[in-house]
Amino acid sequence: MVSGFGLFAQWISPSELQEFALRRADSAWRPEVLGFVRNTEFFHPAEQGRTRFGALVGMRRSYALQEGRSVDLGVLVHQAFGAGPQFLPLLMLRQQTSWSEVSFGSITDRGHGLPRQLINPDLFYSVPVAYGLSGKARLGDFSGHYWAEWLRAIDYGSPFKERIHVGGTAAWSRGYFALNGLVQYHHVGGQIDSDPGPGGNRLNFGAFGSAGIGSSVLKVAQLYYADPLQVFSAERRGRGTSAEFLLRVHAKVHAEFSYWNGSNFQAPLGQGLFQSRNPEDLMAWHQKSRQLLGFALAYEGNSSARLRFWYDLGGRGWQPSVTWVRYLVLDPLGGSKHSRSRDPQ
């Protein structure tokens, strides 16, 4: 039987692409395939709907260098239908101890365990790999995770600015309960580019926790936004409160009920539907107060599917989305396959 916290993690964590991301390479080259369809029918000025339909195909392998040190090598092909293929090299140097791990190179965990308000689930399907530094540690009931992702580098005269995403979480968990603190730092800037747009620093921070009640889970979050110099918009600060309740209604079917209440909340990498401005076009629209009700159904079998609805209490109506994911790891020598299917965002 899965504990309440484990059940919540299966539901909320970034699903099949997260399963793909967190898979540890072993000492053999094993082909892996992840197929996905994600369609958001959003007709909202905070976030426009889009369709992601494609696959990730690749192989990776781990090589031991010496005690506690290893290197992962591999390559992924990201094929989003309607676009050209992208070749994503995988190179990760890893240092491990009995209680910590530091990695440098490819970062396939784009979610970092953060709420969807801070990391848009669409990123898992559109940009599945970043590059930088990440690490984690655990001591008893306490754990931590940190990362620094270079999302865009510049050269002299580049028509865009550099972008860096840095953050960390600290958690305490015991049994059915967990409490997490978090901070995200977003940098946009550079001195040698030709982009006339604004450059500066923004922060997201806050706390979130969960409690298991039998086969149900309750999660709450209090999140904040800060742009101290008001570089990107007129709002210096913002906040948002989230409450989510997960209920198992069948062995393979879960239901989720959600509520969001935000005031001038922004998150540069978050899902726009929860924000007071569209993160892709900050000057196009503004609504100080945002309240949403959410409902979702998920099926978890050989593949995973989710149907989700958000209702905007500000008068924008229903915003639906549907997601389907299937993940396979193949064993050419054994002639077998292993399916990894859980819960898409």
pTM of the predicted protein model: 0.89
Evaluate whether residue 62 is within a structural domain: yes
179: Cα separation from own chain's centroid: 19
Say yes or no to pLDDT of 81 above 60: yes
d(CA 319, CA 335): 43
Judged against a pLDDT cut of 80, whether residue 311 lies above it is answered with yes
Structure tokens at 295: 């409902």
- Is residue 35 domain-resident? yes
β-bridge partners, 331: 336
Say which residue the tokens 């550079």 belong to.
190
In a domain, 321, yes or no: yes
Q: What is the CA radius of gyration of the chain?
A: 20
Does residue 15 belong to any structural domain of this protein? yes
* Cross-strand bridge partners of residue 187: 164, 201
* pLDDT for position 186: 97
Query: Can you give the residue range of the structural domain that contains 31?
Result: 4-339
Q: How far apart are CA 299 and CA 285, in angstroms?
A: 36
Mean per-residue pLDDT over the chain, rounded = 88
On whether residue 294 sits in a domain, the answer given is yes
In a domain, 344, yes or no: no
CA pair distance 323, 45, nearest whole angstrom: 22
pLDDT, tens digit, for every residue of 165-208? 999 999 999 999 999 999 999 999 988 888 888 899 999 999 99
Query: Judging by beta carbons within 10 Å of its beta carbon (0-12, 13-18, 19+), is residue 275 exposed, middle or buried?
Result: buried
Enter the tokens of residue 80: 């989003």
Widest CA span in the chain: 60
The reply to whether 217 falls in a domain is yes
For 20, other C-beta atoms within 10 Å of its C-beta total: 24
**Cβ distance 46 to 278 under 8 Å?**
yes
* CATH number of the structural domain spanning residue 250: 2.40.160.10
* pLDDT at 14 exceeding the cut of 80: no
Report the SS3 class of residue 274: helix
Q: Report whether 203 contacts 226 (CB < 8 A).
A: yes
| Cα distances (Å, whole numbers) of residue 5 to 148, 168, 305, 345 | 27, 20, 21, 17
Domain tally, the chain: 1
345 occurs within a structural domain: no
* pLDDT, tens digit (0-9, with 9 covering 90-100), for 226-242: 999 999 999 999 999 99
More confident residue, 62 or 330: 62
